[in-house]
Homo-oligomer: A and B are copies of this chain.
């Protein structure tokens, strides 16, 4: 592998239809404002082209709400003697698609051979500007091996792929001398949107426009081996942010055209290098892992909202409409750690988003007969739950399956509280609490107060009829993960209250009064010790995932899957194959053991890892990282490494699940991307941070020579370098807060500047 190979992903050869779906996700470019799928310029909706602007949702009729796929401003098609050159239908001599992860540039290079033997080379580069968020820039170069004429068709394709669309109506196309525009409005909320395109050529042979497409055809005479380059500057704007999206988008793309591609690329590149400086982890001795990790972080950085705290990161990022473009617990539990330790300002945005959704969570609680904040399982821009009651279609009868994701996955509120508390711990920034965080915590605690039950006979609070992380077992009682998270919510509630009481007594009183929370707080504090936490069974030391779990049929994953009668049949739900067995979809108890590492000793953790690993189907992309994390914590670097790679490679392999029932669920997996960081840094490197003390318990794979990690703790930039012998901590600049470090039994304060090196005791090194 060449040196730059760990910064680049490449796909060679012509893809088939299924690969096109995968590549569209894998080669996505984005900047947090928008995501643009990694499709080729000549692709149309059949190949799932998509431009997703974060935070814009729409509903058509009674179908579910989902993100709007915008008109595609990146469309370019070359015609040679009337024949469109298309990777999927033309004769292709060479084809290659690349993504430069360091600079976030998408490139393609295709050598076509036409009917008469003329070879035409198409090369293109594009990026979603990190400096100018609504902007995508495209450089499209065409050349031929002999003199010839080609037509370049370029413009905006408004006939886009939709799951439950079309979402845009009243589209109109506008053509000015230098600028093409497509304007439309959403169905549900009548929000205007506009896409405008400036190009570097102004004299088309002809223009074509329909209600939802506008193109210019340029007639180009190519001299043999002399390339011709088209530049496109594509700007997006909507009524969400601007009263006149048309003018706004025109302005952006005109200004971009004036600056030119190279200048824009330069500022984009600069922004990305700054991002990487704060987040790039270097792994010496494993280029596969290095590339997979960078790929994961690239995707997280591409979709992280920096411009607003009113949106968060959806479960499929900005790669399409899958999962309704909704934000799940994926963000708080699996993506947040990366941001917390590298870009706490983005972490803050993600958590502030939840504060903005508080009213929606209150509405949901009322709807279900509870009080407080019952957060949406699938959250969009309004805080209401986008999750439908029938989420999946039965492949045997084609009937909708009643799923209980929306009703019963009540752990979502606790996940948010967990994340808020992590934020406060890791950043040392209590302003989030004052800016709504405390309110969220209190309202979530109040929700659980209203939802849990006291079992008089056993003198304990139980949490009944829930769905935990493992979605194959819906409507269970005393799910360990859920119970533990709720106990934690109550504990955080008390800690936040105590903290505010001491440090911000007036604010505390104001919140208490505004929320009418005093009596509930007293009750919650009393409940804490009485919440039932299932304990390991004495014999096997296995914590039952829920009441009765260990009595279910104990069949192996392989045997269970062999019972399938249809490749896409859903394993959960009322009649799913897994429902009545111990086969689980994803880490559940194991995840809880990751999130609460001090609850149990290593032997219990190992017993549970061994028991549940055998029974986990990993039907969720959230699963592998927890197994990686916990494997490292019980001193098993090989297993940890295996699951780390499963997580980090998820979108680099073709295997990932594209359908559940009859539903398309393809797209990127940002939670797995976050899980890659989490399982490397907090797993293999064993990093944890609480109460101002940084702990490291590395468990590196034997073939890794060294890992180096940039961190931001309490606002302080640090750089860790870990190998099998020692840990080096470099303080960038001057230490502003006292921090302690604890490694292999050595605990000492960090020096105010410079570098500290601590040797790892023998037991800190796990050779395999």
Contact = CB atoms under 8 A, between A and B. Distances in A.
Interface in A181-225: none
Interface in A423-473: 449-457, 462, 464-465
Given A396-B397, A574-B579, A462 B453 contact: yes
Contacts of A399: 575, 577
A565 interface: yes
A574 B371 CA distance: 29
Contacts of A397: 396, 565, 575
For the residues of A in contact with B, the DSSP-based class is loop
A169 interface: no
A577 B453 CA distance: 31
A299 interface: no
A420 B74 CA distance: 79
B580 A402 contact: yes
Contacts of A523: 456
A403 to B, nearest CB: 11
A68 interface: no
A520 to B, nearest CB: 9
Nearest to A464: B464
B453 A449 contact: no
A369 B478 CA distance: 13
Interface in A298-327: none
Interface string A379-407: 00000000001100010110101100000
Contacts of A547: 369
Contacts of A455: 453-454
Nearest to A477: B465
B457 A464 contact: no
| Complex copy number for this chain | 2
Contacts of A454: 453-456
Contacts of A465: 464-465, 477
Contact of A574 (B396, B453, B464, B575): B575
B450 A457 contact: yes
Contacts of A402: 575, 579-580
A449 B573 CA distance: 31
A475 B464 CA distance: 12
Nearest to A523: B456
Contacts of A390: 580
Nearest to A367: B551
Contacts of A456: 449, 452-454, 523
Nearest to A576: B574
A390 B397 CA distance: 20
B449 A457 contact: yes
Interface in A547-587: 547, 565, 573-575, 577, 579-580
A627 to B, nearest CB: 28
A534 to B, nearest CB: 12
A705 to B, nearest CB: 52
A222 to B, nearest CB: 60
Given A449-B456, A456-B523, A575 B464 contact: no
A465 B408 CA distance: 13
A573 B397 CA distance: 15
Given A465-B477, A477-B465, A575 B401 contact: yes
Contacts of A401: 575
Contacts of A452: 456
Contacts of A389: 580
Nearest to A369: B547
A363 to B, nearest CB: 15
Q: Of A452, A457, A475, which is in contact with the most chain B CB atoms at under 10 Å from its CB?
A: A457
A477 B408 CA distance: 13
Given A574-B579, A575-B401, A371 B449 contact: no
A122 to B, nearest CB: 50
Interface in A90-137: none
A515 to B, nearest CB: 15
Nearest to A526: B456
Contact of A396 (B396, B457, B477, B579): B396
A466 to B, nearest CB: 11
A442 to B, nearest CB: 15
A394 B575 contact: yes
A488 to B, nearest CB: 19
Nearest to A446: B457
A457 B369 CA distance: 11
Contacts of A457: 370-371, 449-451
A565 B398 CA distance: 10
A225 B542 CA distance: 82
A573 B296 CA distance: 42
Nearest to A572: B574
A553 to B, nearest CB: 10
A523 B579 CA distance: 37
A100 B252 CA distance: 96
Nearest to A454: B454
A462 B399 CA distance: 33
Q: Give the top 3 A-B pairs by smallest Cβ distance, nearest first.
A: A574-B574, A453-B453, A575-B575
12 contacts: A369-B547, A371-B457, A394-B575, A396-B397, A397-B565, A399-B577, A402-B580, A449-B456, A453-B462, A454-B455, A465-B465, A465-B477
Given A371-B457, A574-B574, 9 more contacts: A390-B580, A396-B397, A397-B565, A401-B575, A402-B579, A450-B457, A453-B453, A454-B455, A465-B477
Interface of A: 369-371, 389-390, 394, 396-397, 399, 401-402, 449-457, 462, 464-465, 475, 477, 523, 547, 565, 573-575, 577, 579-580
